[in-house]
């Protein structure tokens, strides 16, 4: 579980990054889950988008991915969401310490 200070830090890091996960009318497929897992392992912080043709909400998609992959939902704004999962082997992002 990340703190609000850590969440704010991750939001600031996520601002300039490109959206790499797109969920459309096909919904959340195994291929998207695998792609997301690989991206989280490599980058730790990723941005995704739920297209207008999808039959689900960004909140549902982000929460389902986070639950399946052991990630944290950093933020959801409109159709976009940001996920974070620490890479225990080679961490790239150093979070501010929790009090």
Report if residue 10 sits inside a domain.
yes
pLDDT of residue 79: 96
CATH number at residue 33: 3.30.110.60
- The whole-model pTM stands at 0.94
CA atoms within 13 A on the CB side of 91: 7
Predicted confidence (pLDDT) per residue in 20-76, tens digit: 999 999 999 999 999 999 999 999 999 999 999 999 999 999 999 999 999 999 999
Residue 95 resides in a domain: no
- Residue 53 counted as domain residue: yes
The answer as to whether 19 is a domain residue is: yes
In a domain, 89, yes or no: no
Residue 98, domain member (yes or no)? no
Q: Got the DSSP string for the chain?
A: ---HHHHHHHHHHHTTSPEEEEE-TT-S-HHHHHHHHHHHHHHSEEEEEE-TT-SS-HHHHHHHHHHHHT-EEEEEETTEEEEE---SSS----PPPP-
């Amino acid at each position: 579980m990340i703190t609000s200070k850590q969440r704010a830090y991750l939001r600031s890091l996520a601002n300039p990054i490109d959206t790499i996960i797109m969920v459309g009318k096909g919904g959340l497929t195994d291929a998207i889950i695998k792609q997301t897992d690989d991206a989280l392992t490599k980058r730790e912080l990723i941005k995704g988008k739920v297209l207008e043709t999808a039959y689900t909400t960004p909140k549902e998609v982000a929460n389902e991915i986070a639950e399946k992959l052991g990630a944290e939902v950093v933020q959801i704004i409109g159709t976009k969401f940001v996920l974070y999962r620490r890479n225990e082997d080679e961490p790239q992002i150093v979070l501010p310490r929790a009090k």
